[in-house]
Chains A and B, each alone.
Chain A
Amino acid sequence: MTTITLAEPPRVLHALRLADTTLVLGHRLSEWTGQAPMLEEELALANMGLDLIGQARALYTHAAALDGQGRTEDDLAYFRDAPQYRNLLLAEQPNGDFAQTMLRQFLYAAFALPFWNAMAASADAVLAAIAAKAEKEMAYHQRHSAAWVVRLGDGTAESHARLRAALDALWPFTGEMFEVDEAERGLIAQGIAIDPAALRPAWEASIARVFAEATLPLPAAGRWMQSGGHHGRHGEHLGHLLAVMQSLPRAYPDARW
């Protein structure tokens, strides 16, 4: 099978954006396997990665059904190239050190928790069901990642400096979570999608509360933000991630578990 490109009417595009973000972030967490700083975190990172990959599977299956071309979740995950990926740029950022991974997880979870909470009322019954499950998972992701952000920020000089560096690296990718384009505006009007801009106060409150406890300075409002992941404009890292993630099914397209 060669690379596929989907027609992307709004509902397919919307589902793909959610699926790609959860898969890419889940894959990033899986990259820690065998390398975590301690056994307990090895399991915590793998657990969180599996939560996200589970969400991705359900979302890809839904996207494939909406697409209606007889494709499977695996086709969508493994046979699209980086320019076809619609994930948030935040999700594809490299793991860096443990501080960067945990801060990335917190910045995402603090958004994803209210996001799935609101999506549980989606007019799309499948998305609503996925949301109900994802919300519980993201509540734990937020709890665990926030706990580490507090302890690293309010820990040693070394851990604080690492978290500060992670914040500088990741903050420009947080604005994209609240963007809405024409395709999604229509879905919001139909009650299928939710307006992420409405989640910003909840997200900012979580960030402010945890950063205060972590003695981490809150970046000034209105700073320039990166954008483009939802439209397939990615940084250099996603191609490498996909090369690793997709290599096996691309080399052996008929491989089965």
Chain B
Amino acid sequence: MAENPMPQNAMPQNVMPLWEVFIRSRTGMAHRHAGSVHAPDAEMALQAARDTYTRRGEGLSLWVVPSAAIIASDPADKAEFFEPTAEKIYRHPTFYEIPPEVGHM
């Protein structure tokens, strides 16, 4: 097989960088991930996020973050990252008895 002349992860010239979009809704406290957009730079990414994800009054605040800046866990690490917590049920607050006069917490 011929060697690929393009280094791995290099963005082809005609593809714009990807940005992750976070929106704080009218009722929400925190920004939540909404999706992603392509844009040439930060200002255009913000406008693309506005045009793509806030058309129906969804948001009061927007964040955009270069997708390349996100450090993600490796799916191959699932076993060591997440499985050890599965049997540690004592970490859930389900063993406390709540006095009836407290009602719903």
A interface residues, Cβ below 8 angstroms from B: 38-41, 43-44, 47, 140, 143-144, 147, 151
**Given A147-B43, A147-B44, A151-B44, A44 and B51 contact (CB-CB distance below 8 Å):** yes
Please indicate the chain A residues that have their CB under 8 angstroms from the CB of B43 in the complex.
147
Asked if B52 and A40 sit within 8 Å, CB to CB, the answer is yes
Asked if A43 and B47 sit within 8 Å, CB to CB, the answer is no
CB-nearest residue of chain B to A43? B51
Please indicate the chain A residues that have their CB under 8 angstroms from the CB of B55 in the complex.
43, 47
Please indicate the chain B residues that have their CB under 8 angstroms from the CB of A44 in the complex.
47-48, 51
Q: How far is the CA of A22 from the CA of B64 in the complex (A)?
A: 32
Total CB contacts across the A-B interface at under 8 A = 29
- The distance from the CB of A164 to the nearest CB of chain B, in whole angstroms, is 20
Please indicate the chain B residues that have their CB under 8 angstroms from the CB of A39 in the complex.
38, 52
Q: How far is the CA of A40 from the CA of B39 in the complex (A)?
A: 8
A-B contact pairs, 27 of them (CB 8 A): A38-B16, A39-B38, A39-B52, A40-B37, A40-B38, A40-B39, A40-B48, A40-B51, A40-B52, A41-B48, A43-B51, A43-B52, A43-B55, A44-B47, A44-B48, A47-B51, A47-B55, A140-B50, A143-B47, A144-B47, A144-B51, A147-B43, A147-B44, A147-B47, A151-B40, A151-B41, A151-B44
Q: How far is the CA of A39 from the CA of B15 in the complex (A)?
A: 13
Please indicate the chain B residues that have their CB under 8 angstroms from the CB of A144 in the complex.
47, 51
Can you add 5 more A-B contacts, CB < 8 Å, to A40-B39, A40-B51, A151-B40? A41-B48, A44-B48, A47-B55, A143-B47, A147-B43
* Binary contact readout B51-75 vs A (1 if CB under 8 angstroms, 0 otherwise): 1100100000000000000000000
Q: How far is the CA of A38 from the CA of B47 in the complex (A)?
A: 14
